[in-house]
Amino acid sequence: MENTTDKFLRYVAFDTSSDPDSQSQPSTNKQFALLEQLRKELDAMGVKQVEVDRYGYLMATIPSNMEGDIPAIGFIAHVDTSPDAPGRGIKPRIIENYDGQSIVLNEEKGLELNPDEFPEIRDYIGQTIITTDGTTLLGADDKAGVAEIMSAAEYIMAHPEFKHGDIKIGFTPDEEIGRGVDRFDVARFGAKYAYTMDGGAIGELEYENFNAASAKLHIQGRNIHPGYAKNKMLNAILIASELNGMLPVEQRPEYTDGYEGFIHITRFTGVVEEAELQYIIRDHDFSLFERKKKMIQECADFINLKYGANVVKVDIKDQYYNMKKEVEPHYHIIEKAVEAMRAAGVKPNIRPIRGGTDGARLSFMGLPCPNIFAGGHNFHGKYEYVPVQSMEKATEVILNIIRNFTE
Active-site residue list: 80, 175
Long-range pairs of 36-43 with CB within 8 A, sequence gap ≥ 24? 37/10, 37/11, 38/79, 38/146, 38/150, 38/171, 41/150, 42/150, 42/153, 42/169
- What is residue 105's DSSP assignment? E
Three-state SS at 280: strand
Q: How long is the chain? A: 407
Cβ–Cβ under 8 Å, residues 131 and 103: yes
The helix or strand, by DSSP H or E, that contains position 383, with its residue range, turns out to be none
Q: Is 248 exposed, middle or buried (0-12, 13-18, 19+ CB in 10 A)?
A: exposed
Cβ–Cβ under 8 Å, residues 344 and 404: no
Beta strands in 243-384 (DSSP E): 262-270, 274-283, 312-320, 349-350, 371-373
Instruction: Determine phi and psi for 168, rounding to 5 degrees.
Output: -110, 135
- What is residue 222's DSSP assignment? B
First to last CA, the chain: 27
Cβ–Cβ under 8 Å, residues 315 and 172: no
Nearest to 53 by CA among 185, 153, 186: 185
Cβ–Cβ under 8 Å, residues 212 and 277: no
Cβ–Cβ under 8 Å, residues 172 and 180: yes
Three-state SS at 90: coil
Cβ–Cβ under 8 Å, residues 109 and 132: no
Strand partners, 93: 131
Q: What is the bridge-based pairing of β-strands 129-131 and 93-95? A: antiparallel
